[in-house]
Structure 1
């Protein structure tokens, strides 16, 4: 039986209605396609009865390639498992980038360990302290993780202050009863400061402890440099002290109305946030860039991550907070610990630092060269 002929339009192609009708009637149109050849079966691969044993040494491959990562991410797998879980929980609880939580964790742990933990590298001694700046819009939530992660430091100061008040009351009572009483006057060992004068910070540094400056808005802290000074060069004097503190270089304070103080081997961290549009206005002044103050900051500016709806975020449990407080408490109570780089770490760091030094030396822009060279210290 001949195939029925489909109607054609003037362009020589079958009209749409004819095609639909032919499909409905199970009739093939005239312009039939050639039959589809059968799919060839793939040959069966027979495995040998026994596979060869893998070599003892795995083949070396390069893991740290830019093409390996979809986007730059700050890894946290070098933390212990409880700390990793805490970092992820805080990040999802506040809906903030993971990098903000990591920076605050390093800041808090460094203050707790203080100068009892030191890394000795030829020829320097390095403490776990640095100047941090979290960069991001207000919607990125910089304040939430800052307050959450540093909570154990404030609790530590609160407990120390209560102890100080008790000891101070006992001391005053002894002085009241015996005018010649020569007992040691109690001292409040404060580890966290906010809006403060350089004199108050220097008084804390003179006690020998590492302290931390928490500035929710770093612009306010930097704009206040020299505010408490009565002289004409207050900004320059305070800036000079901050530069020395970052490098753990001691300095003397000479005042006519006060006794001379020697701040020996100071150690201080700074941590806070700033909005992107204020970054250049705050850190880009000639005074800060030419002095090297800006280069001493480690800026954390995360890429935009996925938005987590509030109903989908994790909850911060009391157990999680207690675990983090316990970790920081053990750092406060730790015995002095001196660390040294392994032979492999010395080799890796030397190559990294030497490369940075050569790049900084070849850089025509002194500011960029300073930023490159300071990374050698940030890394430690």
Structure 2
């Protein structure tokens, strides 16, 4: 029997990516699609690459009937999900792709997002959605908070190293490059082709990027003490992909061993042979994360590089992986599409 799925915010990039993935899922059926700014339109009009699919027309959220819906993907802007999810029926499972439920501490949420949380009761039940590390909790959850795509990339590279105690926790530098789709589909002057192409630039420089809240929360919990990393993201003139180059103090062999052992049984996180490093070309359109380790020329230092597709493993693919667990389905169902190359 198919699981009935609703996608709220289906007219954005992550919504379209969810539709693309669910189209090949053996046990999911899209029953409702909302996109307030595109209400009344067909998905073929909004996303012509999906015209071959038989999909419901886009409606407003208020017009969606949740009767018979098993799970809702909420792909709405930050600060919008809180009020929407609060009104959903309690028997409907929810995977939220926004930042609204990622931070457990309500004061931390206010610090990073500049406002009080409007659904603190829901925050207390939300499970952090980094699948490979919260699998059991996700399987029993009603509400799962998808991670930030940058935060996921850094955590896949660093969590096993913090757990294994093979790096200096006070000397971690994350230099990250992110493709433009991570900024969403709404019109922004700095994302115009003439403003963005043929260049790259840092943003949120100096420790003000909101995904630092997730790094602080997760790394400190693992270490049992405060861990603060240096993190600078850069915007690439590319459509998809994140590449994080991470500088750490530690022996490359021990670092590679810790990553290899932690991910030995994980289908979607692949550790490359030592000395090799990944490219966003090799994970495009897939739910895979590639991690490489290279020894630095300076003894006792190493470079860890992680690559994933921000729309798939960093967002919608992760969301589906979590939904599979929440619905009691096979975790990798609908997610084994090979990367697109070239």
> What TM-score do the two structures reach when normalised by structure 2?
0.26
Larger radius of gyration: 1
**Structure in which a larger fraction of residues adopt helix:** 1
> What TM-score do the two structures reach when normalised by structure 1?
0.24
Which gives a bigger RCO, structure 1 or 2 (Cα 8 Å, sep 6+)? 1
**Structure in which a larger fraction of residues adopt strand:** 2
